Amino acid sequence: MADKKENKEKKSIKGRSSSGRKAAGPTISQNGKAYITATFNNTLVTITNDKGETVSWSSSGARGFKGARKSTPYAAGLAVEDAARKALEKGIKAVEVFVKGPGSGRDSALRAIKAAGLSINLIADVTPTPHNGPRASKKRRI
């Protein structure tokens, strides 16, 4: 039998140089997705690129609000503004917005995204709704 020569070349990992460090260059596209979770107690914002990798995030609590002030529309606007500013620095220009939850920061979050300079391609409400699963918990009394 004939000897077969094997090609033993180093496989390059995509996005990394041979030294193992992350390769320089534009890795973020101009489009992204903004996920806004507005709960009764807080508003969470995550902005990702097309692949789903987190580019920036913020929340009302991270902006310094505590207690009942975290759930206000003003706090939600500041949180979104902070995350959008970071995303703009990293090259995101347009976003698809996915809003989840019943909180009071939903509308002001959308206004803050527009005011920060990001263009909105899509707005979708992804609040989970049950299809008559287990018995619901008792109604809140306020």
**What's the longest Cα–Cα distance across the chain?**
85
Q: Where are the beta strands (DSSP E) in the chain?
A: 31-38, 43-49, 54-59, 94-100, 119-125
Residue 4's pLDDT is what? 54
Q: What's 51's domain CATH number? A: 3.30.420.80
Residue 105's pLDDT is what? 87
* Three-class SS state of 2: coil
**To the nearest 10°, the Cα dihedral for 98, 101, 103, 104?**
30
pTM above 0.85, yes or no: no
The number of folded domains in the chain is 1
142 secondary structure, DSSP code: -
Residue 53 in any domain: the answer is yes
Residue 135 in any domain: the answer is no
Residue 34's pLDDT is what? 95
Per-residue pLDDT of the chain (142 residues; tens, 9 = 90+): 555 555 555 454 455 555 555 555 455 568 999 999 999 999 999 999 999 999 999 999 999 999 999 989 999 999 999 999 999 999 999 999 999 999 888 999 999 999 999 999 999 999 999 898 999 899 989 8
Is 122 within 8 Å of 96 (Cβ atoms)? yes
Residue 12's pLDDT is what? 47
Range of the domain at 106: 31-125
Residue 25 in any domain: the answer is no
